[in-house]
Structure formats: C-alpha cells, structure tokens
C-alpha cells in the first residue's frame, strides 16, 4: 500500500503511465480501453465522495471563519479576490491571444483538416428543431443558469441530482445559521460531521491510488479517439493555451510562496499532491482534501479559510476556464479571419469571466458549451468552436484544473494575512541532531562509578525497608 501511494504521488511514475497509455491507445486499443474503464470507476468514486465532502468542508470552514476577527470583511475580501482572479486570467488570455494570434498562420493542410472536422460534425448531427414560442430547456440548461440552480427550493433534490451550485448555496445558508448556535447545542452534530469529514478524506485518499491507472487510461483514450491530423491542426491553440497556463501558474506560485515565506523547493513539495491530482484526474473536486492539507498543515495558512475557500473555489473560481474561453475566442476569430477591435477585446475579457462563472459546477460538453456566451456576442460561429474545442478538451482539462486550483490557493494565501500560522512543525536532519544531543547522557568513569554506587545503595535500602515492613 505504501509503495502504491508513493507511485501515485510520483511525477515520473505518472508521466510513465501517460507514455504507456499513449502507446497502448495506438497499438493495443483493448488494453487502453480497460485502463480507461478503470479510470472512470475512479472518477465515479471521487464524485460520490465529492458532494458530501463539499458540504462538510464548507460547514467547518464557515464555523471556523466566523470565530476569527472581522469575519464579514474576510468573506467580502475572499469574494472580491476570487472575482478579480477570474478577471485577471480572462484578461491574461485575451492579451496572450492578441499577441500570439493562435490560428492566424495555419497551413492549408491544417485549414482543410479543421474544415473537414466541422463539416463532418454538421453532417452527423441530428435534425435541428427550432421552437418559436417557448423555451428550449435543453439549450438553456447547457449554457445558462436558472433560478433553481442558484437558490434551490428543495435541498434534498439538489443533493440527489448532484447540482453542485445549489448544494453550495444551501450549505452556506445552513452553515451560517448553524454557526450562530451555542456550542452545547451543536456538540453532537459537530462530532458527527467531523467523523464524516475524516471518512470522506480517507475515501478520496484511497481512491487516488488509482491515479496511475487513470493517467494510463486517459492517455490511451486520447490516443485512440483523436486523429493525429487533428492534434497537428490544433497544435497552435494547444501550445498557446499550455504556455499561458504555465505563465499564470508561475505567477500564482510566486504569490503563494511570498505569503508562506518558504523556499521554492518546499513550496513545490507541499503543492505537489493536489496539483498531480488536479492534472491527472480532470476533476475539480478530487484535489480538495489534498489542497486543504497543503495550504494549512504544510504551508501554515488558516485552515478555516482554506476549508471554506477551497470547496467554494473548486466550483466558482474557474480561472482556468476564463483563460481557456478567452484564448478560444482569439483562436476562432483568427481562424475565420475576423480581427477583433480594442472594444471587442475588452468585451472578450468581461464575457469570458461571465462564461467561467456560468460554467460553475459543469464539466465536459456542458462546460465547453459556455464558450457560446462569448462567441455569440462577437458573432463568431459557435458550432465550429464547440466541435474544435471538444476534440482537444481531454488534453486541456487537466491544465485548466491546475490553474484554477493555484488561483484558489493564491486567494487563500492573501486572505490569511495577519492570522497565526498553522504549519505543522517540521523536524529536519539538523533539528534531529540537536534534539539527540540534548537527550544524550555522557559520563566519565568516575561519574559512572559514583552513579552505580548510588543505585546499589538505593536498591539495598529498598530491600531493607521491605524486610522491615514484612517483619512487622
């Protein structure tokens, strides 16, 4: 078990699984298909534990945060910083897209491949039905939010349906009301929630042992399902997106390291588990327990703020999606030779931020569909964007999660300013040597002889006292 845990937390091991999975998808599809099936089982386990973990983690975070000084100011600061981080990522993606101009200098072969992909998708699509009067509920649920998504009228219904947005809203309201009660009234429920919290953490930790299999199966699925010509045609966008994600990750790393006052090596070691889980799982909720542990125990930030902000940010702070949507807009505009003015670039920043917020709690096709908010406003072909982005989404999902996780961690680091550190004390080799020196007993021969004589004299006295008591 220990060896498997180390392997699942090994960067080189996961890279090896990615490489072997790509080879299996290209040359042994049945093996890759089995790995992908096991990986989907892992995602099912994580999603099963994610919803109650979100509820309990936010409950504890709210309760601890309300006990801190100026809780209202800290909550308002968290919300504003979270919105600012999303806007900054959207602006960064827009600037990078304007400077690099992905899709502007594609070859004729790449244009033909992308055009063939779009036309093939259009020919395979079913008949389009247009409703003149009424609402197309399918389209609305894919790209927009309804009132029941934000304020649920039945908390048990959103729990059963897995509506993460509604669950979080209900949890926040319940947690704020619960925190106002006295400790005597809430002691029993608090202990029950604590047991549930630790059990869910253990469940996700054991499920994460399947990360190597998930990495293998995901790489095999991508290699088997994606045509090399499509990857080559979309390589311009992929390279730009991965470069922009790496740049934003470096900025957030610098912010977290400056607030934690730790060396880059220690920062990387502390953040390695949640980032590996975010990159390989493609799930926004799987890294939650690792992120809370890294930010509080290893880096010393407030655990109450981490327990509140990390679950909240995994749903709402979609910084990676904001970067993705803004770069996708620039790519589609360049692909169709549609230059964007300064006003349209500013509109892209705003709409990409809105689309990232609308995509809260959504993944896969439903998340990609939110790019239509930006495309429609700029009069760009939404259908073409959806088809092209869907072809490479499995590759981009992991980096998007990494950007979002680091953005949430940066918010936690900034909001925790002025609070006492909760970092667990680390004992390094030097400290162990000093501790050993303090506890070491050293005697000369004369001191050892005197000490031995004292011990023998004390033993003899004890024996004589025992004999005397027994004689009486």
Domain final residue pick, 415, 432, 460: 415
Residue 426 located in a structural domain: no
Residues 463 and 339 in one domain: no
Residue 435 located in a structural domain: no
Span 131-154, pLDDT tens digits = 433 444 443 444 445 555 566 666
Q: Under a CB-based contact definition with an 8 Å cutoff, are residues 372 and 359 in contact?
A: no
Q: Is the pLDDT of residue 387 over 90?
A: no
pLDDT score at 239: 92
Residues 346 and 450 in one domain: no
Residue 402 located in a structural domain: yes
Residue 134 located in a structural domain: no
Dist. CA 403–CA 314, nearest whole Å? 11
Domain final residue pick, 398, 415, 432: 415
Residues 193 and 266 in one domain: yes
Span 294-313, pLDDT tens digits = 898 889 888 888 888 888 88
Dist. CA 249–CA 245, nearest whole Å? 6
What is the residue range of 448's domain? 441-471
pLDDT band at 112 (very low <50, low <70, confident <90, very high): confident
Residues 383 and 447 in one domain: no
Residues 461 and 375 in one domain: no
Report percent pLDDT > 70 for the chain: 75
Report percent pLDDT > 90 for the chain: 17
Angle between helices 382-415 and 235-260 (to 10 degrees): 10
Dist. CA 380–CA 405, nearest whole Å? 30
Q: State the chain's mean pLDDT as an integer.
A: 77
Span 404-457, pLDDT tens digits = 999 999 999 998 876 766 676 543 434 444 444 444 555 566 666 666 767 666
pLDDT band at 96 (very low <50, low <70, confident <90, very high): very high
Residues 449 and 406 in one domain: no
pLDDT band at 338 (very low <50, low <70, confident <90, very high): confident
Residues 321 and 456 in one domain: no
Residues 405 and 458 in one domain: no
Span 175-229, pLDDT tens digits = 777 666 666 766 777 777 778 877 887 887 777 777 888 888 888 887 887 778 8
Residues 75 and 178 in one domain: yes
Closest to 260 in 3D by CA, of 407, 84, 412, 89? 412
pLDDT band at 246 (very low <50, low <70, confident <90, very high): very high
- Dihedral (CA of 108, 221, 288, 7) sign: negative
Residues 382 and 457 in one domain: no
Domain final residue pick, 380, 399, 415: 415
pLDDT score at 214: 80
Residues 388 and 450 in one domain: no
Residue 422 located in a structural domain: no
Number of domains in the chain: 2
Once rounded to an integer, what is the mean pLDDT over residues 272-282? Answer: 83
Residue 430 located in a structural domain: no
pLDDT score at 143: 46
Residues 70 and 215 in one domain: yes
Residue 95 located in a structural domain: yes
The structure tokens 């390279």 sit at 239
Q: What is the CATH number of the domain that holds 68?
A: 1.10.3860.10
pLDDT score at 312: 84
pLDDT score at 430: 42
Residue 425 located in a structural domain: no
């Amino acid at each position: 078990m220990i060896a498997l845990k180390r392997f699942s937390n090994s960067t080189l091991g996961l890279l090896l699984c990615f490489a072997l999975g790509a080879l299996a998808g290209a040359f042994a599809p049945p093996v890759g298909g089995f790995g992908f099936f096991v990986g989907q089982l892992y995602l099912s386990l994580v999603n099963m534990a994610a919803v109650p973990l979100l509820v309990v983690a936010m409950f504890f975070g709210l309760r601890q945060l309300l006990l801190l000084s100026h809780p209202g100011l800290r909550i308002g600061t968290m919300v504003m910083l979270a919105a600012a981080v999303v806007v900054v990522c959207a602006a960064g993606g827009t600037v990078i897209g304007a400077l690099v101009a992905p899709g502007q200098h594609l070859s004729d072969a790449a244009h033909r491949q992308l055009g063939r992909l779009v036309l093939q998708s259009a020919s395979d699509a079913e008949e389009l039905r247009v409703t003149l009067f009424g609402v197309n509920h399918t389209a609305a649920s894919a790209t927009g939010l309804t009132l029941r998504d934000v304020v649920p009228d039945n908390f048990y219904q959103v729990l059963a349906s897995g509506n993460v947005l509604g669950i979080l809203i209900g949890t926040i309201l319940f947690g704020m009301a619960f925190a106002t009660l006295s400790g005597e009234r809430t002691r029993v429920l608090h202990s029950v929630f604590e047991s549930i919290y630790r059990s869910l953490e253990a469940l996700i930790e054991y499920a994460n042992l399947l990360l190597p299999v998930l990495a293998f199966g995901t790489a095999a699925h991508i290699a088997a399902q994606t045509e090399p010509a499509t990857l080559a045609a979309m390589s311009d966008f992929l390279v730009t997106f991965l470069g922009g994600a790496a740049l934003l990750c470096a900025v957030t790393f610098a912010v977290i390291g400056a607030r934690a006052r730790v060396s880059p090596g220690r920062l990387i070691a502390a953040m390695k588990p949640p980032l590996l889980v975010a990159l390989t799982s493609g799930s926004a909720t799987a890294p939650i327990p690792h992120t809370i542990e890294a930010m509080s125990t290893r880096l010393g930030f407030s655990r109450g703020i981490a327990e509140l902000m990390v679950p909240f940010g995994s749903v709402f702070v979609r910084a990676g999606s904001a970067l993705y949507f803004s770069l996708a807009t620039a790519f589609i505009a360049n692909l169709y030779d549609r230059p964007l003015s300064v006003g349209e670039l500013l509109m892209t920043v705003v709409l990409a931020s809105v689309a990232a917020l609308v995509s809260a709690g959504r993944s896969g096709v439903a998340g990609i569909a939110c790019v239509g908010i930006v495309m429609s406003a700029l009069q760009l072909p939404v259908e073409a964007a959806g088809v092209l982005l869907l072809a490479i989404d499995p590759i981009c999902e992991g980096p998007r999660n990494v950007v979002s996780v680091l953005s949430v961690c940066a918010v936690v680091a900034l909001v925790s300013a002025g609070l006492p550190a909760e970092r667990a004390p680390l004992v390094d080799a030097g400290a162990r040597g000093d501790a050993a020196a303090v506890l070491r007993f050293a005697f000369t021969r004369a001191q050892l002889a005197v000490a031995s004589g004292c011990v023998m004299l004390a033993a003899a006295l004890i024996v004589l006292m025992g004999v005397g008591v027994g004689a009486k």
